[in-house]
Structure 1
Amino acid sequence: MSSADAAPDYSYLGGVAAQLRAPGSSPSGANDWRCRPDARHPQPVVLLHGLSNDTITWNTMSPVLAGAGYCVFTTTYGLGWLGPVGAVTTAQESARQISAFIDRVRAATGAAKVDLVGHSMGGAIPFYYLNHLGGRAKVDDYIALGAPLHGSDLSGVQTAFAGLLNIPGAARQCGGPCQFNTGSPFLRVLDPDPRRSPDVDFTMIVTRYDEVATPYRTGLLRGPNVRNVVLQDRCATDYTEHYEMTADPIAVREVLNALDPTRARPADCTTVLPFVGPVR
């Protein structure tokens, strides 16, 4: 059985193991530049990590989506002072890199639009792409998991260390992560208002046990083109936190439902533990 045919590993730790085995490699199912969308899957899916990389973040989601028939593409954007960890450049620079990657995907596949699935900052930075880089005409579905759309206090850590951000140059060196602190002026520039993109369908997925994008409601939006999903409303025994979200089978099912509502079905409720995944 090839890695592409293997059963998905619904665990964040599986992504960590993949990074240790083959640092910086594309996750299984991603970046087949010969893939062409079909009538059932008309848009290629672009997966965008947060403060991580595509190897770790999309170890589960990528092969599941590819197995469902989607053309899947990933990239690690925003590399800088944290080595293999992306999304550390400014959000503006990360958005420019995302824009260029989306154009590359569109050119390769012949698709006019893509579907975006983003985790954490990867679910928030694309609003800059929509609002300031001409992305509205190039995106059909926008799906975010645990996105700090209205800022995050990092479970109170940001408040405790707020004084450090006043050191000259500290926020600039920190880049994207500091731009999503609660009260950051950048949030007004980002302007995550779905009404500005009426032709885009937004699905915002959050967990009440998020320890990074906090309070968890920072990942929710209001608008006629928005569907908000709180994972514990789907399954009370889903204890996933921020990092496990992209491997959580319940969250993965919600992503599939958002990509193809005509074939949506409820997730199978099970016990999902932080980092580890579902209890067997």
Structure 2
Amino acid sequence: MRKPVIAALVAAVVLALQALSPAGAAGTSTYRSTSHPVLFVHGYNGSAQNWDTMVSRFKNDGWPVSHLDQWQYDSRQSNATTARQLAAEVGRLLVSTGASKVDVVTHSMGGLSSRHYAKNLGGGAEIDAWVSLGGPNHGTDTANGCLDASCYEMRIGSDFLTALNSGDETPGSPRYATWWSPCDAVINPDSSVSLAGADNRQTTCLGHNGLLTDATVYTQVRDLINS
């Protein structure tokens, strides 16, 4: 009678260990040894914690903590200043992980500094996949009501955006992708998000911050950067 009991206990322990593993109980890890570290860039008045839900999902899919960088910065300063700081953070992440490139996942205004980095500061050679979730890539009228340097740059027709969008909107070798929602009340017009030469995707009716936590958006982003 003891053997069946022992076998049942062993099976229970195995299941418990599987549940604690990064891949989860089903063993569905999608992380590969060739996967790049991911740098997450929040938006205006945001914080690194904005990414908690998405980062948790990456962890559950096998990404090690060392490869998930929830970066924090002063979102009131010029996006050009942030881009220089971003370049330093990418350099730090590459050294700490031994990777040759990073994937950059951005929300809202976070897309602007990272685009400036890619276009003007050599970032194009260090980014594999670049993702914009609800980015004001061509400006938004909601920026007309704030006065910070970065907010001025988000206004439609600003000097910063005019320069950023001049010529090729998706320069270099990165794989550019954007996600936009028809129910995003922060980015007006909706067409601001899409970039010429990018993989531009429409979501379901999500709010601006809903792009950060929606399970379908996460799966699409994960599959895109891991392809």
* TM-score bucket of the superposed structures, by smaller chain: 0.7 to 0.9
Match of 1:206 among 172, 180, 189: 180
Structure 1 residue 40: Cα displacement: 4.3
1:228 aligns with 2:216: no
Shift of 1:185: 1.1
User: 1:88, 1:175 within 8 Å by CA — same for their partners in 2?
Assistant: yes
Relative to the length of structure 1, the TM-score reads: 0.65
Residue 221 of structure 1 aligns to a residue whose secondary structure is coil
Q: Once the two structures are superposed, what CA deviation does each residue of 1:54-110 show, in whole Å capped at 9, x if it has no partner?
A: 11x1011111112222321111112xxxxxxxx111111111111111110001001
Task: State the alpha-carbon separation in 2 of the partners of residues 195 and 125 from structure 1.
Answer: 14
Which residue number corresponds to residue 272 of structure 1? none
* Partner in structure 2 of residue 258 of structure 1: 224
Aligned positions of 1:63-142 closer than 5 A: 63-70=56-63, 71-78=67-74, 87-142=75-130
* Structure 1: runs of 5 or more not aligned: 6-36, 79-86, 166-170, 233-238, 262-280
The one-character-per-residue Cα deviations of 1:193-244 (angstroms, maximum 9, x if unpaired) are 34422x1111101101111121111110122xx2111003xxxxxx311012
Match of 2:153 in 1: 179
Q: What is the rounded CA distance, in whole Å, between the counterparts of 1:176 and 1:142 in structure 2? A: 20
Change (3 A) 1:253 1:214: same
What do residues 150-190 of structure 1 show as CA deviations (whole Å, max 9, x unaligned)? 11112xx72xx5xxx8xxxxx5xx11122111111111222
Across the aligned residues of Structure 1 and Structure 2, the Cα RMSD in angstroms comes to 2.2
1:244 matched residue in structure 2:
210
- 2:33 is aligned with 1:39: yes
Q: Quote the Cα distance in structure 2 between the aligned partners of 1:188 and 1:131.
A: 13
Q: TM-score, normalised by structure 2?
A: 0.80
Aligned-residue sequence identity (percent) comes to 27
Q: Which has the higher helix share?
A: 2
Q: Which runs of 4+ in 1 moved over 3 A?
A: 192-195
Give yes or no for contact 1:146–1:242 (8 Å, CA) kept in 2. Answer: yes
Q: In 2, are the aligned partners of 1:124 and 1:144 still within 8 Å (CA)?
A: no
Structure number with greater Rg is 2
Shift of 1:38: 5.0
Aligned twin of 2:139 = 151
Q: Distance in 1 between matches of 2:112 and 2:182?
A: 18
Q: Structure 2: 5+ residue runs without aligned partners?
A: 1-15, 21-30
